[in-house]
């Protein structure tokens, strides 16, 4: 039994019954393979819903009717942890104290506790830092939660957090690292591969300029974790290739993306602890 918004493990493309339908059309909700995915402003559409004379009527859905429970939960957790920090005397304006962030789970060399690899991705320096990351998560996350399914999207998000932590420790082990930016850059990497795989230019969609601006800021603003951003982005590229690009080249094992995500997360997790 599957929920309404999750895809059964044996789902196949409605146009190519011998291929996995790893994504759902945002308009008609039918399963489609990567070859049939057409990038839209929100998620992906099938060929019949884009420019075809036959437009679905009965089964057409409002693309905004999907409830992104995972994205909402992630935002709530981030906000709660920020409020807790403010309640413990950090305040909500300006820079939150480094000592408080280390105590609550920030990533820092010399503190090898296992939980810091993940908790650091849910802490923020200040309200602006939190607001920017949560706004980006709200813009990017729901469409991928819907197209990938809640379980695979959740695995991806935490993988991007962990690989972001690994990148941060590789690049600057002696700097305190916190924030969801690694996961946000993971979503940017995922979007890059998804659009390229569907034949849609990232420059026409505006994603290219967003990437350019973010990478310029990453390498020019001293307080930004370069390694954290690069690590998350790399995870997005790798997992995006597995989910959106590789299936176009031939049939792949059903759970290969999940296996690779778990392996990537485990390797990055161990590497982060080893460095710290």
- Overall average pLDDT of the 11-33 stretch: 75
- Can you read off the two tokens belonging to residue 247? 């299936």
pLDDT of residue 92: 54
Choose from 11-15, 91-95, 213-217, 242-246 the range with maximum mean pLDDT.
213-217
Mean pLDDT of 18-40: 73
Q: Measure the CA–CA gap between 35 and 20, rounded to whole angstroms.
A: 11
Say what the pLDDT of residue 39 is: 63
**Dihedral angle sign, alpha carbons of residues 179, 70, 77, 103:** negative
Backbone angles phi, psi at 195, to 5 degrees: -70, -40
Q: Which residue intervals of the chain bear CATH 1.20.1540.10? A: 67-275
Between 40 and 13, the higher pLDDT residue: 13
CATH architecture of 1-66: 2-Layer Sandwich (3.30)
The Cα–Cα gap between 212 and 175 comes to 25
CATH value of 67-275 in 1.10.10.10, 3.90.550.10, 1.20.1540.10, 3.30.300.30: 1.20.1540.10
Q: How many CA atoms lie within 13 A of 251 on its CB side?
A: 10
**pLDDT value for 63:** 46
pLDDT score, position 50: 75
Q: What pTM value is reported for the model?
A: 0.77
Structure confidence at residue 54 as a pLDDT band (50, 70, 90)? very low
At 102-156, the pLDDT tens digits run 888 899 888 889 999 999 999 998 888 999 999 999 999 999 999 899 999 999 9
pLDDT digits (tens, 9 = 90+) for 149-207: 999 999 999 999 999 999 999 999 889 999 999 999 999 999 999 988 888 888 888 89
Stretch(es) of the chain classified as CATH 3.30.40:
1-66
> What is the largest distance, in Å, between two alpha-carbon atoms of the chain?
63
The yes-or-no verdict on residue 91 having pLDDT over 60 is no
To 10 degrees, the CA torsion angle through 186, 191, 196, 200?
Answer: -160
């Amino acid at each position: 039994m599957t929920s309404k918004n999750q895809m059964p493990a044996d789902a196949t493309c409605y146009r190519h019954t011998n291929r996995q339908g790893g994504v759902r059309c945002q308009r008609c909700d039918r399963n489609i393979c990567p070859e049939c995915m057409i990038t839209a402003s929100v998620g992906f559409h099938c060929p019949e819903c884009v420019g075809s004379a036959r437009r679905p009527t009965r089964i057409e859905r409002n693309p905004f009717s999907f409830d992104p429970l995972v994205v909402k939960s992630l935002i709530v957790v981030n906000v709660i942890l920020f409020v807790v920090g403010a309640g413990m005397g950090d305040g909500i304006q300006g820079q939150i104290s480094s000592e408080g962030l280390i105590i609550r789970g920030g990533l820092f060399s010399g503190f090898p506790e296992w939980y810091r690899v993940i908790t650091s991705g849910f802490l923020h320096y200040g309200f602006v830092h939190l607001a920017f990351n949560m706004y980006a998560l709200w813009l990017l996350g729901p469409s991928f939660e819907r197209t990938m399914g809640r379980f695979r999207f959740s695995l991806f998000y935490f993988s991007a957090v962990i690989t972001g932590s690994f990148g941060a420790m590789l690049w600057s082990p002696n700097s305190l690292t916190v924030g969801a930016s690694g996961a946000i850059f993971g979503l940017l990497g995922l979007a890059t591969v998804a659009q390229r795989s569907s034949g849609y230019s990232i420059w026409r969609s505006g994603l290219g300029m967003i990437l350019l601006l973010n990478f310029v800021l990453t390498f020019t603003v001293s307080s930004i974790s370069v390694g954290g951003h690069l690590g998350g982005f790399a995870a997005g590229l790798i997992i995006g290739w597995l989910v959106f690009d590789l299936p176009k080249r031939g049939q792949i094992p059903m759970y290969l993306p999940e296996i690779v995500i778990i392996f990537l997360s485990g390797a990055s997790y161990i590497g982060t602890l080893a460095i710290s």
